[in-house]
A and B are shown apart, each in its own frame.
Chain A
Amino acid sequence: MAGIRIGINRRNIFRRLAIFFMILGPGIITGSVDNDAGGITTYSVAGALYGYGLIWTLIPSFIVLVVIQEMNARMGIVTGKGLADLIRENAGIKITVLIFLGLLFSGIGNTTTEFAGVAGSMEVFGVSKYISVPVVAVLVWVLVVKGTYKIAERIFLVFSVSLLTYVVSAIMGKPDWESIGSAIIRPKMEISTRSMAMVIGLVGTTIAPWMQFYMQSSVIEKGLKMKNYKYTLADIIVGCVITVVVAFFIMVACASTLHPNGIEINEAKDAALALKPLAGNLASQVFAFGLFIASIFSATILPLATAFFVCEAFGFEAGLDKKWDEAREFYILYTGILIISAIIILLPNAPLISISLWSQVINGVLLPVVLICMMILINKNKIMGTHVNGRATNIIGWTAVVVLVCLSAALLILPLFSI
C-alpha cells in the first residue's frame, strides 16, 4: 500500500519535518508523563536493589508500549472517539463502571504519589512539605483551569526535555558500561517473590492504564489523520524511547552508586539523598530536580485526564472550555482528586508506601481489562473498517495481554505467600 518514493528532494524533507513538528506531541507527552514520581521511585529502587540486573526488562516494556500506543493512536484517528466512549458503547455498562471506578481510585493513588514526589524532592532542597505541596497543588489547579492549554502544552514539552537531567546524574555516578552491556545481553532473573514483584512493578509503572485513554484523546484533540500516520508512529516511538531512556539512566544512576554500597531505599527522595555522599551534592540536586519536574508534570495531567475520562464514559459534560455550571461533575472530580491527594500527603504519618503499593495493584488489575477491551475493539470491522489489527500486532498484543494477566495475577497472589 505505502509505496516507497525514491529520491526525496530537499524541499520535501523540510516539508516532512514541518509536518512532524506539527503533529509532534501526543506520543512524547504521554511518554514523559510515564516517568512520573511513581516510575522514578520504582526505577531507583530497582537500581539500588538489583544493580544492572533488571535493566533488560526495559526492552520488552518498550515493545509492548509502542504496540499499545500505536493501537490507541490508530483507534483515535479512525473513529474520532475516545477510548472511554468506545468502551461504554461496546462493552456494556457493568464493565464500564468497573473500569472507571478503578481508574478513579488509581488516579487518586497516583496523584498522591506525585505529591509525594513534590514533597520529597523539595525536602532535598530544604523546603517543608507543608509549604511545597499546597503551593504546587494551587499552581497546578490555576494553570489548568485558568491558563490556556497551548501554554500548558509548551511547558510540558520543556518539561520532557528537563527529564534528561537524569542522564547527567547517571554519568556523574561513573557507571560501568561494560557490565551494563552484558547485563542487557544476558538477562538474568533471580526467582524470588521480591524480584518478581520488582519486575511487575517496573512493567506496571511503564505501562499505566490511564495512559491508553490519554493517548487516544490527545490524538483526537490534535485532529491527526490517517495520511500522516507515519509521523504519528514516529512521535509514538520517540515518546517511548524517551520513557525507556530516562528509565534506563535512573536505574544506572542508582545501580552504579547505591547498589555497590548496599544502600537500600524506599522512596525516590532517598535515592537523591543517598547520592549526595557518593556522587556529590550536584548529582543529588539534579536528581531531586528531575523528580520535582516529573511530579508536577504528572500531577497536572493525571487528575485532569482521570476526571475527563470518567465524565466521557458516563456522559457528563467535560472540558476546560465549559463553565463550572455546565460541567459541574467534571470540575468537582478534577478538583476533588487534587485536594484529596494533597491532603493525604499532608497527613502526619501518611501510609505512603502502602498507598503507592495499592495504586500499583489497581493499575495491575485494570491494565489487562483495558487491554482486552482494546484488543476486541480494534479487531471489530464495524468500528475500525479496513484499519483493524494486522496479524503481527495481534500476536504481540495478545501475548502482552497474557503476560500482563500472569504478572498481575502474580502481583496479587505473591503477597499472600510472602506473609
Chain B
Amino acid sequence: MTSLTTFYLSGILGKEAFGSDGDAIGRIRDLLVSAVPSGQNDPNQQIITGVKLKIGKEAKFYSFNAFRVSKARELINVTCTDLIELSKEEVDNGLLLDENILDKQIVDLNGRKLVRVNDVRLATLPTGTFAVAVDIGIEGLLRRIGISEPMKKLLSLFRINIPAKFILWDDVQAIDFSNFNIKLSKSYAKLQTLHPSDLADILEDLGKKSSTSVFSALDEEKAADVLEELETDAQIHIVESLPVGKVADVFEKMPADEVADILDELEDDKAELLLKEMEAESSQEVRELLEYDDDLVGSIMTTDYLSFSAAKTVDEVLRELRIKKPESAELYNMFVTEKDNRLIGTFNLRDLVVAEPDIKISSIMKSEPVSLLDDQKTTAIAEIVSKYNLLAVPVIDQNEQLQGMVVVDDVVEDLISERRTRKRK
C-alpha cells in the first residue's frame, strides 16, 4: 500500500463516501480537525478527527478513524468501514475546515498578517489523515473554480508559472470560531507568541466580532500592550464591546496616560463607570490626567516616573531600581526632588553607572533641569526634545512641583504625523 496520499479540501467536499461493500453512504460536507493545540510539534494537533456526512437529508458528525482517503488515477476515493457518531463535546473541540477555514481570514503566524484561505492541503498517512497546509495562492483560487489545469497548460505555453503559496498548518491560527463554545483562550493560544504591535495590526484588520473575541482571549498583560498599540477607533470598539470588569483589569496594567487618552474618547458615563471599576490608586492617577485639556502637556505626560532624594547614594538608588524593576521608559530620565516634591535636578542611567557607589546623588545630578509646565501647549515639546536631546522631559506645575514626565515615545508619533498624515489602508 502506498504510504502517502495528498489531496485538497476542495477535492473532497461534496464527494460521496463509499462503504466497504462499495455502496454509497453519504456526501462529505466538512472535515473536523483538532482545534486545541496540545503542544509544539505534536502531529496529533493537525489530525482530522471527524467528518460531517450528509446521509439522506440529515448531516451528522462521524469519527474519521474509520475513513480512508485514497487516490487512483487522480481521482479521490473515500471509503468508510464504520460509522461512529461523535459526541457534541468532541465536535465542539474541533475546527471545521470548510466552515471556519476555507474562504475565511486566518493569521499567518510566520508572516504576522491576515490572509485569506483559498484551499486546504491534506495528506493521508498510515497513521491517519492530516491537515498539512493552507493554500493562499492564485493557483488555489483557480482550482476552486475548476480552471487550474487548463490555465496552467495555457500559461506554460508562455513559460509562465502560476505561483503557489502555502502556509504550514503549524503557522495557521484560525480566527472565525463563531459557531463554537470551545474555550477561546485555548484556541487562540498561538497568537500569544506574536508581538503586540503585530497583533494590534491584525486586530485592526479583523471584523468587529472577531477582533473582540481574539482580544478577550489574550491574557491581561498582553491585552494591555495590544490595547496601547491599537488605533483610536479600534481601541474604542474593544473597550465598548467588552465587559466593564475585564476592561478595568486591562486598564490597570496600562500606563495612566494611555488610559486617560482612551477615556477621553469615550462618553462621560462610560468613562466614569470604568474609573469606578478600577482600583482606587490607578483610577486616581488617570483622573488627574483627565483634568488637562487635549492640547496641554499634562494630557500626554505619564505619571510613572522615578524620583529620589538628593541625600541618597548611588548604591542605594541602584539597589532600589533592582527591587522595583521599572519599565525602560522610566529610566530615560530620573528626577531628584525635595520634601515638598519640588524638582531640583535630574540624572540618567549613565550618570548612575559611571559613578562610585558611595557618592551622593546631589553630586552627580544636573541641577536647574530643563522642564515643561503642565499647562503649556504640547507644541512646545518638540522644540525642547530636539534642542536638548532628551528622551524624557520632567513636567512641573506653577509651584515647581514635579507632576510627571513626557516620554519621547509618546510624542514621536505626533511629531511625525504633523508632517505627514498618511491614510492607514
Interface residue range, chain A: 20 to 34
A97 proximity list for chain B (CB < 8 A): 141, 145
Q: How far is the CB of B31 from chain A (nearest CB, A)?
A: 17
**Most chain-B CB neighbours within 10 Å: which of A93, A94, A382?**
A93
Q: Give A366-391 as 1s and 0s: 1 = Cβ < 8 Å from B's Cβ atoms.
A: 00000000000000001000000000
In the complex, A223→B211 CA distance in Å? 14
B178 proximity list for chain A (CB < 8 A): 382
Closest residue of B by beta carbon distance from A382: B178
Q: Say yes or no: A321 contacts B423, CB within 8 Å.
A: yes
**Of B145, B206, B207, B422, the contact of A93 (CB 8 Å cutoff):** B145
B423 proximity list for chain A (CB < 8 A): 148-150, 221, 320-321
| Number of residues on chain B facing chain A (CB within 8 A) | 30
**Of B103, B145, B421, the contact of A88 (CB 8 Å cutoff):** B103
Q: Say yes or no: A321 contacts B207, CB within 8 Å.
A: no
A319 within 8 Å of B (CB atoms): yes
Q: Give A283-310 as 1s and 0s: 1 = Cβ < 8 Å from B's Cβ atoms.
A: 0000000000000000000000000000
Q: Say yes or no: A150 contacts B421, CB within 8 Å.
A: yes
Q: How far is the CB of B268 from chain A (nearest CB, A)?
A: 12
**Most chain-B CB neighbours within 10 Å: which of A150, A315, A318, A322?**
A315
A85 within 8 Å of B (CB atoms): yes
Q: Give B109-125 as 1s and 0s: 1 = Cβ < 8 Å from A's Cβ atoms.
A: 00001011110000000
For window 74-100 of A, CB contacts with B under 8 Å fall at 78-81, 85, 88-89, 92-94, 97
Closest residue of A by beta carbon distance from B178: A382
Closest residue of A by beta carbon distance from B113: A317
In the complex, A94→B208 CA distance in Å? 26
Q: Say yes or no: A89 contacts B422, CB within 8 Å.
A: no
B136 within 8 Å of A (CB atoms): yes
A88 proximity list for chain B (CB < 8 A): 103, 116
A314 within 8 Å of B (CB atoms): yes
Q: Say yes or no: B422 contacts A149, CB within 8 Å.
A: yes
For window 180-229 of A, CB contacts with B under 8 Å fall at 221, 223, 225
Q: Say yes or no: B207 contacts A79, CB within 8 Å.
A: yes
B144 within 8 Å of A (CB atoms): yes
B207 proximity list for chain A (CB < 8 A): 79-81, 85
For window 137-165 of B, CB contacts with A under 8 Å fall at 141, 144-145
A93 proximity list for chain B (CB < 8 A): 103, 118, 141, 144-145
In the complex, A382→B211 CA distance in Å? 16
A85 proximity list for chain B (CB < 8 A): 105, 207
B425 proximity list for chain A (CB < 8 A): 221, 318-322
Q: Say yes or no: B233 contacts A223, CB within 8 Å.
A: yes
Q: How far is the CB of A278 from chain B (nearest CB, A)?
A: 44
**Most chain-A CB neighbours within 10 Å: which of B113, B116, B145, B206?**
B116
For window 127-156 of A, CB contacts with B under 8 Å fall at 148-150
Closest residue of B by beta carbon distance from A315: B116
B322 within 8 Å of A (CB atoms): no
Q: Say yes or no: A89 contacts B424, CB within 8 Å.
A: no
With A80-B206, A382-B178 as contacts: A314 and B116 at CB distance below 8 Å = yes
Q: Say yes or no: A79 contacts B424, CB within 8 Å.
A: no
Q: Say yes or no: A89 contacts B113, CB within 8 Å.
A: no
Q: Say yes or no: A79 contacts B208, CB within 8 Å.
A: yes
In the complex, A384→B396 CA distance in Å? 50
In the complex, A80→B238 CA distance in Å? 12
Q: Give B386-425 as 1s and 0s: 1 = Cβ < 8 Å from A's Cβ atoms.
A: 0000000000000000000000000000000000111111
Q: Say yes or no: B208 contacts A315, CB within 8 Å.
A: no
**Of B104, B115, B118, B208, the contact of A80 (CB 8 Å cutoff):** B208
Closest residue of B by beta carbon distance from A314: B141
In the complex, A94→B141 CA distance in Å? 10
B141 proximity list for chain A (CB < 8 A): 93, 97, 314
A92 proximity list for chain B (CB < 8 A): 103
**Most chain-B CB neighbours within 10 Å: which of A89, A225, A318, A319?**
A89
For window 159-180 of B, CB contacts with A under 8 Å fall at 178
For window 88-135 of B, CB contacts with A under 8 Å fall at 103-105, 113, 115-118
B237 within 8 Å of A (CB atoms): yes
Closest residue of A by beta carbon distance from B117: A315
B276 within 8 Å of A (CB atoms): no
**Of A89, A94, A314, the contact of B104 (CB 8 Å cutoff):** A89
A148 proximity list for chain B (CB < 8 A): 420-423
For window 188-220 of B, CB contacts with A under 8 Å fall at 206-209, 211
Q: How far is the CB of B139 from chain A (nearest CB, A)?
A: 12
**Of A78, A80, A149, the contact of B211 (CB 8 Å cutoff):** A80
Closest residue of A by beta carbon distance from B179: A382
B424 proximity list for chain A (CB < 8 A): 319, 321
Q: How far is the CB of A309 from chain B (nearest CB, A)?
A: 13
Closest residue of A by beta carbon distance from B267: A227
Q: Say yes or no: B208 contacts A78, CB within 8 Å.
A: yes
In the complex, A317→B208 CA distance in Å? 19
With A80-B237, A315-B136 as contacts: A321 and B422 at CB distance below 8 Å = yes
In the complex, A81→B423 CA distance in Å? 18
A319 proximity list for chain B (CB < 8 A): 424-425
A382 proximity list for chain B (CB < 8 A): 178
B211 proximity list for chain A (CB < 8 A): 80
In the complex, A78→B209 CA distance in Å? 9
In the complex, A92→B178 CA distance in Å? 18
In the complex, A81→B145 CA distance in Å? 24
Q: Say yes or no: A315 contacts B233, CB within 8 Å.
A: no
Q: Give A305-342 as 1s and 0s: 1 = Cβ < 8 Å from B's Cβ atoms.
A: 00000000011011111100000000000000000000
Closest residue of B by beta carbon distance from A82: B207
Q: Say yes or no: A315 contacts B421, CB within 8 Å.
A: no
B144 proximity list for chain A (CB < 8 A): 93-94
B206 proximity list for chain A (CB < 8 A): 80
In the complex, A92→B144 CA distance in Å? 10
A to B CB contacts below 8 Å, 27 in the list: A78-B208, A79-B207, A79-B208, A79-B209, A80-B207, A80-B211, A81-B207, A85-B207, A93-B145, A97-B141, A148-B421, A148-B422, A149-B421, A149-B423, A150-B421, A221-B425, A223-B233, A225-B236, A225-B240, A315-B115, A315-B117, A315-B118, A318-B425, A320-B423, A320-B425, A321-B424, A382-B178
6 smallest CB-CB distances across A and B, nearest first, come from A315-B116, A149-B423, A223-B233, A319-B425, A80-B208, A81-B207
Q: Which A residues are within 8 Å of any B CB, using their own CB?
A: 78-81, 85, 88-89, 92-94, 97, 148-150, 221, 223, 225, 314-315, 317-322, 382
Q: A148-B422, A149-B422 are in contact. List 5 more A-B contacts (CB 8 A).
A: A80-B209, A148-B421, A223-B236, A320-B425, A321-B422
